[in-house]
Amino acid sequence: MRIHVVNPNTTASMTAGIAAAARRAAGPGVTILAGNPDEGPASIEGYFDEALCVPGLLKEIAAAERAGIDAHVIACFDDTGLDAARALAAAPVVGIGEAAYHVASLVAGRFSVVTTLARSIPALEHNLRRTGLAERCARVRAAEIPVLALEAPGSEAEARIAAEIGRAIADDRAEAIVLGCAGMADLAGRLSARFGVPVIEGVGAAVRLAEALIGLGLKTSKVGGWAPPLPKAWSGPFAPLADGAAK
């Protein structure tokens, strides 16, 4: 069983951390293949960054499809390019945001999300409505830390995230916490132990859900919104993506 984990930004060190988290979560016999695009933003912090990283993300998805991968995980909590990737791929595609929300809903009646910057809150609230889980989410909170600060030595990132978790439990009556960035994956275990509530990180949740979909023999539906692109004239660097879409 081979799962492709793609970090849509171009920061290789973050991809390495994501890959390590995915391998820790993966079951026996699962091979994790991780990568990131060569072109695009170093981090994804808002709608503009999301739009510019999607072509590179789709190139990574297309290459893994040609290699016969069993499933894909998009390791950006905004679920960047998720619908486009599902139209491109035959194998299941799981976004870490969607996966974390569903897992949280299975272990708690209500949960709060703690993400990086406030500019990401509207996108995450939209995704919660899209998944049908907005009513289960008490609040989406921001610790006001840039994504790349999660890797910076001596950063106050963990302390700020912890403070926001404390407020979520006290003020939102949150029964579980979802960490709203792939770069937070290493924090889940110790924050859960510290606060005594489930703390869910999306990379592990997505890998385990991908394993379940593979085990059930399920593929991405090609009827309706995730049907492959229609044949048409394409120009420029995007043409190979349309040519390689799942049929």
pLDDT band at 245 (very low <50, low <70, confident <90, very high): low
For residues 56 and 104, membership in a common domain is answered with: no
- More reliable by pLDDT, 64 or 185: 64
One domain, residues 182 and 231: no
Claim to verify: residue 103 and residue 69 sit in the same structural domain: no
Question: Is a pLDDT exceeding 80 seen at residue 240?
Answer: no
Considering the domain architecture, whether residues 158 and 107 belong to the same structural domain is answered as: yes
Q: Is the pLDDT of residue 187 over 70?
A: yes
Q: Indicate whether 191 and 153 sit together in one domain.
A: yes
User: Measuring CA to CA, how many Å separate 121 from each of 58, 74, 140, 142, 175?
Assistant: 24, 19, 6, 7, 20
Q: Is the pLDDT of residue 181 over 70?
A: yes
198 touches 108 (CB < 8 A): yes
Q: Is the pLDDT of residue 247 over 50?
A: no
Whether 12 and 54 map to the same domain: the answer is: yes
**One domain, residues 106 and 185:** yes
Task: Report the pLDDT value the prediction gives residue 145, as an integer from 0 to 100.
Answer: 86
In 3D space, the residue among 216, 240, 217 whose CA is nearest the CA of residue 229 turns out to be 240
Question: Which amino acid is present at 201?
Answer: E
CATH number for 88 = 3.40.50.12500
Q: Which residue has the higher pLDDT, 67 or 45?
A: 67
Full strand arrangement of the beta sheet holding 137-142 = 137-142, 111-115, 176-180, 199-201
Between 88-97, 173-182, 236-245, the lowest mean confidence (pLDDT) is in 236-245
Residues 6+ apart with CB under 8 A from 166: 195
Beta-bridge mates of residue 31: 2
Express each pLDDT in 74-115 by its tens digit. 999 999 999 999 999 999 999 999 999 999 999 999 999 999
Same domain membership, residue 136 and residue 221:
no
Query: What is the pLDDT, as a whole number, of residue 243?
Result: 62
Question: Which residues make beta-bridge pairs with 177?
Answer: 112, 199
Say if residue 192 is in the same domain as residue 209.
no
Strand 71-74 relative to strand 111-115: parallel, antiparallel, unpaired? unpaired
Q: Quick one: pLDDT at residue 61?
A: 96
Model confidence at 46, pLDDT cuts 50, 70, 90, reads: confident
- Asked if 161 and 183 touch (Cβ cutoff 8 Å), the reply is no
Percent of the chain predicted with pLDDT > 90: 80
Confidence class of residue 124 from pLDDT cuts 50, 70 and 90?
very high
Let me know whether 54 and 92 are in one domain: yes
In a shared domain, residues 112 and 195:
yes
Report the alpha-carbon distance of residue 77 to residue 84 in Å, rounded. Answer: 16
Is 70 exceeded by the pLDDT of residue 244?
Answer: no
- Cα dist. 4→142, 212, 226, 241 in Å? 29, 15, 19, 17
When the pLDDT of each residue in the chain is averaged and rounded to a whole number, the result is 92
Match 């910057």 to its residue by tokens.
117
- Look at phi and psi of residue 196 and say left if phi exceeds 0, alpha if psi is from -120 to 50, else beta: left
Q: How many domains, the chain? A: 2
135 Cβ neighbours under 8 A, 6+ residues apart: none
Per mean pLDDT, which range of 49-53, 108-112, 130-134 is the poorest?
A: 49-53
Alpha helices in 142-197, H assignment, sequence order: 157-171, 188-195
Averaged over 148-172, what is the pLDDT? 88
Do 27 and 104 lie in one domain? The reply is no
Query: What is the domain range of residue 15?
Result: 2-96+205-243
